[in-house]
Structure 1
Amino acid sequence: MFAYYFQLGLRSLHRNPVLTALMVMAIGFGVAASMTIWSVFRATSGNPIPQKSSTLFIAQVDNYGKDGNDEGEPLPWMTYTDAMALQHAHQAKRQTALYSLASSVIPADPQLLPFPARGYGAFGDFFPMFDVPFLFGSGWSAAEDEARASVVVIGRELNDKIFGGANSVGREINLDGVSYRIVGVTDRWEVKPRFFDLDIKGGFGVAGQIYLPFNRAMDLKKKPVGATICNRNVGTDWDSFLHSECVWLSFWAELPTAAQAANYRQYLHGYAAEQQRAGRFGWAPNVRLRDVMQWLSYRHVVPKEARISLLIAISFLLICLVNTAGLLLAKFMRRAPEIGVRRALGASKQTIYAQFLIEAGTVGLAGAALGLLLTALGMLYVDRVFDSSIAKLAHIDVSLVGLTIAVSILSTLLAAFYPTWRAAQVQPAWQLKSN
């Protein structure tokens, strides 16, 4: 019977091409607007590292008190003093202090000009903690961290540019006039949002291409390029900056179990209490330990325009559905005589429901086809609304195609429920008498 009702639905749509076109356009435009914005919202609100998001934590320690914190919340960054204290305490399975830096890459070929490259200063635990994929080699060891070795891990794009994509492990690269031995080349690593580096375009900027041992970066006085807040007097030299109350580092710890996370949170509280007793902090301990998703929520990573645009798109879809419901109601009630005859010949209300809902489903299917076409078109112009670093994340994939088709058909069936109910209430006797 499904095939028969489907055929009846196609014939009915054929009889009223203008009305059919209006319904298909209403559904198509409404679904396209929603799916285009949804693709952006999905990309910005997704879990960047689902396999570990609940075991990776960022630590925060309030070292400014109520006069300098964020409405009672510790600032997102940490001082060098606090980060090194946590690093040396080794209270986590893996841990790393982390900050953004920049260098100039000086090619071996004198005919090529130096060019800038962003990157990070981190400890060796960074790579296994964040499941960094490697194309060649690996990260450096804990011994090389302690030895302050001149080693480096570079990204695939930088490796392609300098070494033509060849295995460069063991070769040298010149950064700011200092030679480093390459120990690893990372593969393409599209972590979006980049939860450990939210200061560059909210975590959606271009990923770093160089990774230096933290201690070596300190020896070379590699200044941070991310956020740095100093609300107290700081000396002009590097050592004064390091031992000041300036916040500019983040500190991440891997804590596989809830018990370990609870213990680490208690340790942070004890550390802050110790600083209070030492006279460094003049306020009660104020610490936070957030996992990846809690951190992204706290930092409001999803752009406001994405949330607002999604609400507007959904509202537009609802308006389109109301219009579609009105058109379907007019279409179905014009066929009241036909329904009355069918009911008089023995057709049940369930039969009428099935026929008209399947007919509405064909409208939804046609709307899905138009919606997919308009969604693809919308992807070309989404950068008119969002920053280019975010707009480029929007793309059509199998899941979006499936969602578009499902939303189109289900929303049309929802819009058709009341018109179908009205059609099923047609009284056969009235129709036979009046006709």
Structure 2
Amino acid sequence: MFVYYLGLGWRSLRRNPVLTALMVMAIAFGVAASMITWSVFRVVSGNPIPWKSSQLYNVQIDNRGPQYNEPGNEPPDALNYTDAVALMQAHKAPHQTMLYDIAPSVLPQNANDLPSTTTGYATTADFFTMFDVPFKYGSPWTNADDDGHAAVAVISDALNQRLFGGANSVGRDVTLDMHAYRIVGVTEHWDPKPRYYDAYDNMEFANPAQVYISVNRAVDIHVGMAGRNNCGGAPAHFSNDEQWLHRECAWIPFWAELPTQADAERYKEFLTAYSAEQQQAGRFQWAPNVRLRNVTEWLDHEKVVPAESRISLFVSIGFFIICLVNTIGLLLAKFMRRSSEIGVRRALGATRREVYAQFLMEAATVGLAGGVLGLLLTIVGMQGIGLLFEPDVARLAHLDMSLLLTTLIVAVLATVIAAFYPTWRAAQVQPAWQLKSN
């Protein structure tokens, strides 16, 4: 019967080509608009590390006073150097890391090639363990390397391809800003989106980092910061690097790994006690003001999901609903024009269940045709997605098998759901009335 009803459905599409074309186009345009905006929204709003997001916490400490804070007395989104080092030395979390953006020049291996600028982070050994960074060759440097201010580096697979042709480069040197570093590891392609650990510098959707060096070594040799430096409105003129390091300016994101909620509560108590000590020492002139947010809470706080992606998704879904409402009207007109056919079928013994099966299958064929056209419109629409979103966001949207299957499934299911009312009306046709009137 399934094959029989499917055949009836396809023949019905050819019977009223204009009406069928209107329904197919309505479904196609509605589902294509929804899938195009969904392709962006699913990337920017996803949990980048779902297996661990409840254990990783961003740390905030108010080091500049309420007069410079955001509404709600929100402290700075990053720490200054003094507080970051103090928390690292206290080591109240099983794993903790501090980091800041760098953009060093990389000296190529071939003397005939020109140096190029790359991006990365000055950080600590725990960075790689905390954020589950995958390695292709080697491993992260160790805590002993951090303590010894070792000139070590981890590079990405992309940079390794560029410098060493993809060979195992562990143990070789890479020259960054005229300083040599021993390569201890090469990462696999690793590009979590959003880049939750560096939302402070608006790097959520930037290109992947290429190089990582020890933060202690970076400070020793004065590796410049390539990210944001927030001094709370105070003058930011520094006569030397030491003065810059110890000013009350926020520029170092700090993360702590806390396995349980109890651990997080104890760590927040520690942060409050630390701030109280700074107040008693005369450094802070205000009551302790700290925040501890896990990954999802941090992304919500930073409003990482672009407003235009959320708005465009809602608008496209609304447009799809309007298309479905129009489809309901067209299906109702199409089905009720066949009242005499329904009456004859019922008189010959067809049950209402069989009428439901026939017309819902017919609606499914309309949805399938709309889904196929919607796929083509989605492919075309993806080419112009940069007209709606920022380039860093638009380049993340991509066609994959899951999006293609979702487009077809949504088109068919939505059309079948829209067909329930027209089908119910068709199933209520009284055979006696139709036979008498015809």
TM-score bin, normalised by smaller chain: over 0.9
Which whole-Å CA distance do the structure 1 matches of 2:19 and 2:200 have between them? 52
- Report if aligned partners of 2:200, 2:253 keep a CA contact under 8 Å in 1: no
Against the structure 1 CA distance between its residues 60 and 300, is the aligned structure 2 distance closer, same or farther, given a 3 Å change threshold?
same
The whole-number CA distance in structure 2 between the counterparts of 1:145 and 1:357 is 66
CA deviation vs aligned residue, 1:300-337 (integer Å, no higher than 9, x gap): 11111101110111011111111111111110010011
Q: Which residue of 1 aligns with 2:7?
A: 7
> Of 245, 249, 254, which aligns to 1:246?
249
Task: Give 1:407 shift.
Answer: 1.0
Deviations 1:361-398 (A, max 9, x none): 11111111111222122221111211222112112223
2:259 equivalent among 256, 264, 279: 256
Whole-angstrom CA distance in 2 between matches of 1:201 and 1:143: 31
Q: How much does 1:345 deviate? A: 2.6
Q: Stretches of 4+ moved more than 4 A in 1? A: 199-202
2:394 counterpart residue number: 391
- Code of the aligned partner of 2:3: A
- Normalising by structure 1, we get a TM-score of 0.97
Match of 1:182 in 2: 183
Match of 1:104 in 2: 105
Alpha-carbon contact 1:77-1:249 (below 8 Å) kept: yes
Tell me how far apart the structure 1 counterparts of residues 377 and 127 of structure 2 sit (CA, whole Å). Answer: 42
User: 2: distance between equivalents of 1:201 and 1:95?
Assistant: 21
- 1:429 deviates by 2.3
CA distance in 2, matches of 1:202, 1:305: 18
1:180-225 superposed Cα distances (whole Å, 9 cap, x missing partner): 1111111110211111122555411112211010100111112211
Unaligned runs of 5+ in 2: none
Determine whether 1:124 maps to 2:137.
no
Structure 1 unmatched runs, 5+ = none
1:310 aligns with 2:298: no
In structure 1, give the amino acid aligned to 2:376. L
Residues 25-78 of structure 1, C-alpha deviations (whole Å, 9 max, x = no match) = 111111011011101000001111122111111101111222111111111111
Give the 3 Å change call, closer, same or farther, for CA 386–200 of structure 1 in structure 2.
Answer: farther
Report the residue type matching 2:20 in the other structure: T
Q: Secondary structure at the match of 2:256?
A: strand
The structure-2 alpha-carbon separation of the partners of 1:371 and 1:414, relative to structure 1 and needing over 3 Å to count, comes to same
Distance 2:28 2:168 in 1: 49
- Provide the secondary structure at the position in 1 that maps to 2:99: strand
CA distance in 1, matches of 2:201, 2:276: 33
Report the count of equivalent residues. Answer: 435
Looking at structure 2, the residues matched to 379 and 153 of structure 1 have their Cα atoms a distance apart, in angstroms, of 35
Q: Quick one: distance in 2 between partners of 1:305 and 1:200?
A: 20
Establish whether residue 50 from structure 1 lines up as the match of residue 53 from structure 2: no
3-state secondary structure, aligned to 2:305: coil
Structure 1 residue aligned with 2:211: 210
Report what 1:341 is aligned to: 344
CA deviations 1:326-353 (Å, max 9, x no partner) are 1111100100111122222332222221
Give the structure 1 partner of residue 37 of structure 2: 37
Q: State the one-letter code of the partner of 1:95.
A: Q
Q: Could you tell me whether the CA contact under 8 Å between 2:78 and 2:200 is conserved in 1?
A: no
Which residue in 2 is equivalent to 1:64?
64
**In the alignment, is residue 85 of structure 1 matched against residue 79 of structure 2?**
no
SS at structure 2 position matched to 1:211: strand
Q: Which residues in structure 2 correspond to 1:416-435 (within 5 Å)? A: 416-435=419-438
Equivalent pair of 2:109/2:164 in contact (CA under 8 Å): no
- Check whether the contact 1:333–1:423 (CA below 8 A) recurs between aligned residues: yes
Secondary structure in 2 matching 1:203: coil
- Write the distance in 2 (CA, Å) between the matches of 1:334 and 1:112: 75
Pair 1:162 & 2:155 matched:
no
1:322 is aligned, of 325, 331, 350, to: 325
Match of 2:193 in 1: 192
8 Å CA contact 1:80, 1:242 repeated in 2: yes
Change in Cα spacing, 1:38 to 1:360, as seen in structure 2 (3 Å) is same
| Segment of structure 1 superposing worse, 191-200 or 79-88 | 191-200
Matched, 1:294 2:287: no
| Greater shift in the superposed pair: 173-182 or 4-13 | 4-13
Q: SS where residue 59 of structure 2 aligns?
A: strand
Contact 1:202 1:301 in 2 (8 A): no
Q: Does 1:352 align with 2:340?
A: no
Q: Which amino acid aligns with 1:30?
A: G
State the identity as a percent.
57
Q: Which residue of 2 aligns with 1:227?
A: 228
Q: In structure 1, what residue type is equivalent to 2:23?
A: M
Q: Which amino acid aligns with 2:116?
A: F
Opposite residue 182 of structure 1, the aligned amino acid is I
1:27–1:371 Cα contact (<8 Å) kept: yes
Taking the aligned partners of 2:169 and 2:311, their CA distance within structure 1 comes to 46
2:152 counterpart residue number = 151
Q: Deviations over 1:392-435 (max 9, x none)?
A: 21122232222212211111012111111211222222212211
Q: Secondary structure at the match of 1:361?
A: helix
Secondary structure (helix, strand or coil) at the match of 1:76 reads coil
1:201 and 1:240 map into 2 onto residues whose CA distance is 26
Within 2, Cα distance between the matches of 1:407 and 1:256?
A: 39
- 1:153 Cα deviation (Å)? 0.9
Range with bigger deviation, 304-313 or 190-199: 190-199
| Normalised TM-score (structure 2) | 0.96
Distance in 2 between the 1:65 and 1:93 partners?
Answer: 30
The answer to whether the 8 Å contact 2:173/2:183 transfers is yes
Question: What amino acid is aligned across from residue 56 of structure 1 in structure 2?
Answer: L
Equivalent AA in structure 1 for residue 16 of structure 2: N
